[in-house]
A and B are shown apart, each in its own frame.
Chain A
Amino acid sequence: MTINTQVRGGLLREQMSCFRKMEKVIVAMQDPDMGIKMRNQRLLITVIPHAMTGVDVITWLTQKYRIGEEEALHLGGMLVRYGYIYPLKEPRCLVLQPDDSFSVFFYSSFHFPSSAIFLAKKNIRKQGELMEHEKERYSLLHKRINHTWDFVVMQAREQLRTSKQRRKADRIVLECQEQAYWLINRPPVRSLPQFCYQHGRNFGGGGQGGTCPPHFFQKVRDAITLKTFLVLYISVFYICLFVKYCEQYQDHDPIMLGCLPSNPWISDDSAYWTINTEIVLVPTRLRVERWSFSFMELLSDPMGRKEFMTYLEKEFSAENLYFWQACEEIRHGESSKIPQKVEDVYKNFLAPGASRWVNIDSKTMDKTLEGIKRPHRFVLDDAQMHIYFLMKKDSYPRFLKSDLYKNMLSRAMVPQESKKSVFPFMRRQRHSSPSPAQVVAHGTEEDERTGGVGQAGTNSTTGARV
């Protein structure tokens, strides 16, 4: 939902589908067999037909949608709020009471135009073939808002027109490709599960390629079976990777499994953050384990990067990491400094006889040197990527097997779960931490100190708990 639709006063697009769905719910409620049992309720001197109790509504919702009671209450409340159900006892209070007070179905007049438009559109689209209950309502609405009927029909036509334009006229022809695979029988490899790869998108536009290359169909059958198998394999393979990723990171997910020593938001103790700051003497075990998940994890953790650098220096290949870091700075740094930085990189890493010469293949090197003559932000991308993958395939696996890493892992600490306080209702003092802006301004010596408990002159205040 955008501001534009709101400003124009036409909440039509989003709310149309909401109202339609709510109306479906209401219609289902009124179903004589499966709906709610309704009775006549006496209110002062009038008798209100088709009334039901709040309890009935909630029970019905719970059963129909298989949801909990709290959610049913919430959903019922929404129906009341939008005027589909009208509470009889306290008409001004638009809340569903889960008790024996009676409510009745009621379509607030505000919604007349919208449901009218909806039906009018349907009428136009299907040229008079509305369903029975829709026809009834259509004529009812027509009677009630006769004076604005022209306006309604006009709106309906307008909406239909714009929706047609919005729909994609042509489809990506890649689907043709997929469909071509399935022209023939399923792949012969029966060991694969019986589901097949298919786009969720509509089929269409296949007729686009009216002028197919003549020789295409000759070889179709041969190719398709093989490629089909591969496509299926790839699809399932990629999906399995998600499962693997989730399993790998599950232990590291604080929301799912909690964190040690304690989650700061629950215990008001920021120890968890203290032991996990950027640079600590002894990192936690989980953190060191994460470095083995992927190369990117290792590089994105400053401690990990430092350890990796130490390892590379032992192997005399540290220039790779320095080069990579310099390239990152160029890519994400200020535009004005790019020419200077590129020049520095060239001097230090790429020039023949440079102090930290990096080993790039000749093709990439030539291309890079050409590009350096007109330096721009991405000129070193190819070289950077080459070095990155070099480190990833070569140095990184060896790092994980090295003694350095193994020692880190064994020395890493597993924090103890913090003991619950003796007086559970006593509120711990929540310490503030220096703002990152402050930390940077005070220079690098701040990095050494932990950022947990406020030290650098900020007052540690206890926040007022709301």
Chain B
Amino acid sequence: MSQDPLEGCRISAGKKSAVSLGKALHPPNLLVVVEGTCGACVAASPVSAPEGSCSYNVAHHHLCVCVRVCMAWQGLQKGETLASLKQESENLRRKLEEERGKLTDVELHQVAEKVETVAALSIKTRRVLKGHGNKVLSMDWCKDKRRLVSSSQDGKVIVWDAFTLNKEHGITLPCTWVMACAYAPSGCAVACGGLDNKCSVVPLSLDRNENVTAKKKSVAMHTNYVSGCSFTNSDMQLLTSSGDGTCALWDVESGQLLQSFHGHTADVLSLDLAPSETGNTFVSGGCDMKANVWDMRSGQNIQSFDNHQSDINCVKYYPSGDAFASASDDATCRFYDLRADREVAVYQKDSIIFGASSVDFSLSGRLLFAGYNDYTINVWDVLKGTRVSVLFGHENRVSRVRVSPDGTALCSASWDNTLRVSRT
């Protein structure tokens, strides 16, 4: 969809690619860039130059970016010693600090100034789903746009037809605090997990008399609670995040671990799969205040963002897959651009004191719905960074908000034991 201005160049951190930067950045003498090695990366050897080639190589030791771009070099000029160059480097760094103070960031709202403001929305609750006996911790929509699954603290997982308010299936798990639940893309199964350190897949039986719980199958095993789960594009693979600091990809049929993702230094609280063409990445957020983007095939951490000042409770991709939003206990939600590799917007207000627990985008990506621990849901204008409206109604903290797959409604799950489906 996007026209990459540097055709043929991949400026994405984490990939080792021979970039013909030289071609794009004519004239051919140079280029730079540098620098820097961390303690772990010993490749501090001076760049030598195969002629005409340059490589943009980002090794992910988390801390080190060795970028060696080399083209035809000339040797050290006479009279320049290493010491003098080091001195120059110090001077440049000091100058940089000064310059930095004068600069302003490019923010999303500056670019979006000319965009029309969103008209004030009045969103009303259209359905209240009552039936859980305890706090509802998580929910997920089915692809048929009207069914949803929800899980609660007392170990119950219920599949509802939210349109008619029918409860279609009820599954009881032996553990409490079922924090993760997901609906399979085909609509034939649900996955759920929590304090039992496992994530199980339950096929939804057609026969009403059959005990659905009996067919539950354990798929994922972690060493700490399971905080989030999601099916990949099919029913056959399950991605989970856990309090043990890792995420993992499982094969549902065999229960085998296909890939594990290490990198978080604290509990991982949330994950989301990228809706991109190649469909190979996902983002996770955790208590170490970082949001990491992972490659599912290799298990590598491709990008990392640490702008938040407290635990990240939820992460969600923008509908195009080029950006994502995160919600945190520091009462802000932030929007990150993956291609530019930085945060581009912060959604906060002085009057919002309590942490945000969940976010989701509307279908066009223009609105961001965020559920907070002060029982409200704030609706933000993604482009302009302003708040469009506030939704009240829940009597306890909102644990999860999700927009339906066709964008017609918003469902919010809360610790007041109910789920509400709302619409303008």
Residue of B at shortest CB range from A170?
B63
Task: Check B363–A173 contact: CB distance below 8 A.
Answer: no
B188–A440 touching, CB < 8 Å: yes
With A214-B85, A436-B186 in contact, do A183 and B269 touch (Cβ < 8 Å)? no
B380 CB → nearest A CB, Å:
13
Contact between A195 and B32 (Cβ–Cβ < 8 Å)? Answer: no
A17-B330 contact in complex given A256-B367, A335-B256, C-beta closer than 8 Å: yes
Contacts of A172 in B (CB 8 A): 62-65, 304
* A31–B196 alpha-carbon span in the complex (Å): 50
**Given contacts A3-B225, A180-B33, A270-B163, A388 and B277 within 8 Å (CB-CB):** yes
Minimum C-beta distance from B255 to chain A (A): 10
Of A36-44, A215-223, A342-350, A352-360, which stretch is located at the interface? Answer: A215-223
What's the least CB distance linking A293 to chain B, in Å? 7
Docked pose: A79 CA to B297 CA in angstroms: 48
The reply to whether B106 and A254 contact each other, CB–CB distance below 8 Å, is no
- Chosen A-B contacts, 18 in total, with CB atoms closer than 8 Å, are A2-B269, A13-B310, A61-B351, A71-B351, A74-B374, A166-B266, A209-B44, A212-B36, A219-B32, A223-B31, A242-B322, A255-B403, A255-B409, A273-B406, A295-B277, A435-B168, A437-B205, A438-B206
Q: Cβ of A419 < 8 Å from any Cβ of B?
A: no
Cα A377 to Cα B236 in complex, Å, equals 12
- Binary contact readout A23-38 vs B (1 if CB under 8 angstroms, 0 otherwise): 0010000000000000
**Is the C-beta of B320 less than 8 angstroms from some C-beta in chain A?**
yes
> Are A259 and B111 in contact (CB-based, < 8 A)?
no
CB-CB < 8 A to B376: which residues of A?
71, 74
Q: Given A13-B311, A195-B105, A293-B1 in contact, is the A255-B340 Cβ separation under 8 Å?
A: no
* Per-position binary interface string of chain B over residues 216-257, scored 1 when its CB falls under 8 Å from any chain A CB and 0 otherwise: 000000001101000011101100000100000001011010
Closest residue of chain B to A258 (Cβ to Cβ) is B424
Q: Does the CB pair B253–A334 fall under 8 Å?
A: yes
For the complex, give the distance between the alpha carbons of A140 and B323 in Å: 49
**Would you call B353 and A239 a contact (CB within 8 A)?**
no
Q: In the complex, what residue of chain B is closest to A224 when comparing beta carbons? A: B32
Please classify how large the interface on chain B is, using the bins under 10, 10 to 19, 20 to 34, 35 or more: 35 or more
Q: Given that A182-B100, A197-B106, A224-B32 are contacting pairs, would A14 and B233 also be in contact in the complex, using a CB cutoff of 8 Å?
A: no
CB of A1 within 8 A of CB of B34, answer: no
State whether B365 touches A217 (Cβ < 8 A): no
**B337/A78 in contact, CB under 8 A:** no
- Candidates A201, A242, A335; contact of B365 at CB < 8 Å: A242
A259 to B406, CA, bound (A): 10
Would A437 and B236 count as touching, CB distance under 8 A? no
- A255: B residues at CB distance < 8 A: 121, 123, 362-363, 367, 403, 407-410, 423-424
Given contacts A238-B337, A256-B364, A256-B366, contact A3 B33 (CB under 8 A): no
Q: Is the CB of A437 within 8 A of B99?
A: no
User: Which residues of chain A are within 8 angstroms of B408 by Cβ–Cβ distance?
Assistant: 254-255, 259, 263-265, 272
Which chain A residue lies CB-closest to B421?
A265
Q: Quick one: CB contact mask for A119-154 with B, threshold 8 Å, 1 for yes?
A: 000000000000000000000000000000000000
Q: Which residue of A lies closest to B232 (CB)?
A: A332
Taking a contact as CB atoms under 8 Å apart, the answer to whether A266 and B126 are in contact is yes
Do the beta carbons of A217 and B403 come within 8 Å of each other?
Answer: no
The interface residues of chain B lying within 8 Å CB-to-CB of A71 are 351, 376, 390
Report the minimum CB–CB distance from A106 to chain B (whole Å). 18
The CA of A431 and the CA of B161, in the complex, are separated in Å by 11
Residues from chain A with a CB closer than 8 A to the CB of B269 are 2
Contact, CB under 8 Å: A208 / B146:
no
Contact of A216 among B11, B34, B329 (CB under 8 A): B34
The contact string, 1 if C-beta is below 8 Å from chain A, for chain B 254-283, is: 101010000001110100000011100000
The stretch that binds B, out of A50-58, A245-253, A313-321, A363-371, is: A245-253
